[in-house]
């Protein structure tokens, strides 16, 4: 079986074939950073982290772009509410987002462009739409996309243009369904939230940002565009319409993750039911528990949050960790390390699950099945079989970002939840581990000494390094 993914545009699971052999371009709609993140926001990042691990395992060279929307009406509203500069609010929340991604083991994308850094590309794309007759300028400097000019509008969300609900009408639109490409400056708005354009001072609309940034880093056409199912309409619908209207092939696959709900409602700041990594740490949940919880559900399925379900995930992960550490102690950690094994083998059930639209629940079921075999082999002192299973289990866990012996997860429980400290120490321990693997012991010792000077004591154990604060 080759990799198959569900494409929202065709409402079908299709064989994945990249546009360019051996190379994959992915664009994921990142967050609008008007507030701190919660685990609902982080779900797409974790899901795509696993997808990219799998694509790279399959041999693809992946270019992954995840943007930051750092200029938006919601951010300007926060400026008024908080009495702080909009850019300070956006940057603070962007740093919090990256800290929480790091805590959950989500690696940084190839590129993470900010909307404010790509005005030239947005203005250029808007100009192309105006030239092709798919956009128009109003008397006050607003620029709108003309929905009536594009017969394919609604193809992604499968809505007919005449059934699309109109957005708020300023009185300047030709059609109430039209959406803003550029918003001219209005009296009372912060002047530093505007840029010069051929149509006057203003700022971009939300949808044009992603079309312009994906084009800048991935070209006119790329392979996968992702995001939450909640922004399929209108955001992704509008992206697709304006990009195709400009003559761009845009994306081959639309891959949407389901929402994480709390007590039957979508998690959102507006109703106050947010759960942050820090808040969950205060309840005793480790970042790895949260990652396991998010990975244990299929990325497209809605996920209902309850403390009990996260406790169950933590207990399931502990069973995995206990086996991996038992195997490492019995066989030697190096004998269970897939990076040191000659030909680490993935079991067929795991491979089939991952190729089947990234079916991580079935992949984890395969991991647990293998753990039962591994424990039986250890009980029987069949070391050859035990080693083969242990290497395979750690290989599968590595692809899911859940290997208990990964230095990232080896901070002590009483040090969890410290946010930036967790992430920084994890990075330092990974650098130390990399230095030791290449036998650069001077560099490894220097990292350890620097951590000690900062009040972080590192202890090497058979299960990997652990750390505590002085």
What's residue 452's pLDDT? 79
Single residue among 405, 432, 456 that ends a domain in this structure:
405
Nearest in space to 280 (alpha carbons), one of 49, 468, 38, 34: 38
**Shared domain check, 367 and 235:** no
**378: nearest Cα among 416, 421, 344, 330:** 330
Q: How far apart are CA 395 and CA 428, in angstroms?
A: 23
Domain count, the chain: 3
63: left (phi over 0), alpha (psi -120 to 50) or beta: beta
Q: Domain check: are 353 and 395 in the same one?
A: yes
Q: Enter the pTM of the model.
A: 0.84
Same domain, 9 and 52: yes
CA neighbor of 431 nearest in space, from 450, 413, 417, 455: 450
Chain Cα centroid distance, residue 205: 23
Q: How many CB atoms lie within 10 A of CB 233?
A: 16
User: Dihedral of CA 92/94/96/99: which sign?
Assistant: negative
Residues 378 and 336 reside in one and the same domain: yes
Q: How far is CA 238 from CA 11, 166, 245, in A?
A: 18, 13, 10
Distance from C-alpha of 179 to C-alpha of 146, rounded to nearest angstrom: 8
Among 198, 228, 257, the domain boundary falls at 257
The pLDDT averaged over each successive group of 10 residues in the chain (470 residues) is 93 96 97 90 96 97 97 92 92 93 95 96 98 95 95 89 60 88 91 93 95 98 96 96 98 96 61 69 90 97 91 95 95 91 87 98 98 96 94 97 91 46 74 80 83 76 65
Specify whether 184 is located in the same domain as 245.
yes
Q: Which domain holds residue 222?
A: 4-257
Q: Does one domain contain both 136 and 39?
A: yes
CB of 429 closer than 8 Å to CB of 410: yes
Supply 222's token pair.
């790329």
Q: What is the CATH number of the domain that holds 174?
A: 3.40.50.620
Same domain? For 191 and 280 the reply is no
268, with CB counted inside 10 A (0-12, 13-18, 19+), is middle
Check whether residue 253 and residue 275 sit in a common domain. no
Quick one: 211 and 354 in the same domain? Answer: no
User: CA quadruple 209, 230, 30, 11: dihedral positive or negative?
Assistant: negative
In this prediction, residue 432 carries a pLDDT of 87
- Helix/strand/coil percent split, the chain, to 5: 50, 15, 35
Same domain, 380 and 312: yes
How high is the pLDDT of residue 416? Answer: 40
Same domain as 186, residue 108: yes
Residue 209 tokens read as 């940002």
Q: Looking at 356, 389, 405, which one is the last position of a domain?
A: 405
How many residues are given for the chain?
Answer: 470
* CATH number of the domain residue 400 falls in: 1.10.730.10
Torsion of CA 71, 72, 75, 80, to 10 degrees: 110
Do 352 and 451 fall into the same domain? no
């Amino acid at each position: 079986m080759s990799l198959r993914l569900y494409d929202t545009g065709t409402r079908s699971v299709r064989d994945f074939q990249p546009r360019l052999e051996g190379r994959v371009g992915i664009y994921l709609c990142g967050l609008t950073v008007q507030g701190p993140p919660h685990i609902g926001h982080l779900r797409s990042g974790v899901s795509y982290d696993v997808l990219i691990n799998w694509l790279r395992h399959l041999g693809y060279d992946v270019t992954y772009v995840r943007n930051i929307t750092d200029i938006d009406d919601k951010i300007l509203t926060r400026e008024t509410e908080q009495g702080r500069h909009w850019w300070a609010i956006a940057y603070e929340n962007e740093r919090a987002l990256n800290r929480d991604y790091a805590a959950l083991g989500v690696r940084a994308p190839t590129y993470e462009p900010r909307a404010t850094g790509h005005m030239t590309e947005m203005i250029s794309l808007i100009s192309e739409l105006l030239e092709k007759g798919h956009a128009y300028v109003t008397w006050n400097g607003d620029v709108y996309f003309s929905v009536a000019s594009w017969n394919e509008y609604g193809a992604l969300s499968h809505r007919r243009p005449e059934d699309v609900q109109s957005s708020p009408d300023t009185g300047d639109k030709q059609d109430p369904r039209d959406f803003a490409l550029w918003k001219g400056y209005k009296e009372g708005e912060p002047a530093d939230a505007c840029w010069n354009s051929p149509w006057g001072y203003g700022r971009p609309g939300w949808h044009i940002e992603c079309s312009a940034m994906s084009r800048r880093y991935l070209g006119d056409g790329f392979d996968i565009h992702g995001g939450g199912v909640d922004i399929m309409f209108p955001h992704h619908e509008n992206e697709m319409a304006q990009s195709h209207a400009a003559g761009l092939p845009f994306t081959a696959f639309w891959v949407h993750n389901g929402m994480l709900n709390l007590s039957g409602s979508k998690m959102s700041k507006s109703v106050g039911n947010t759960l942050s990594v820090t808040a969950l740490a205060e309840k005793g949940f480790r970042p790895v528990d949260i990652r396991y919880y998010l990975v244990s559900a299929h990325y497209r399925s809605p996920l209902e949050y309850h403390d009990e379900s996260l406790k169950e995930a933590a207990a399931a992960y502990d069973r995995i960790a206990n086996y991996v550490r038992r195997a490492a102690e019995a066989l030697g950690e190096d004998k269970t390390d897939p990076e040191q094994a000659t030909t680490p083998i993935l079991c067929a059930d795991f491979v089939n699950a991952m190729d089947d639209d990234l079916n991580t629940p079935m992949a984890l079921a395969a991991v647990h099945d293998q753990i039962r075999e591994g424990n039986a082999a250890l009980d029987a002192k069949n070391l050859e079989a035990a080693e083969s299973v242990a290497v395979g289990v750690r290989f599968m866990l590595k692809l899911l970002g859940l290997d208990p012996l990964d230095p990232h997860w080896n901070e002590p429980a009483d040090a969890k939840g410290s946010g930036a400290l967790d992430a920084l120490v994890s990075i330092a321990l990974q650098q130390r581990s990399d230095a030791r693997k290449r036998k650069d012991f001077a560099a490894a010792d220097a990292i350890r000494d620097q951590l000690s000077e900062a009040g972080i004591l590192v202890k090497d154990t058979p299960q990997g390094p652990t750390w505590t604060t002085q």
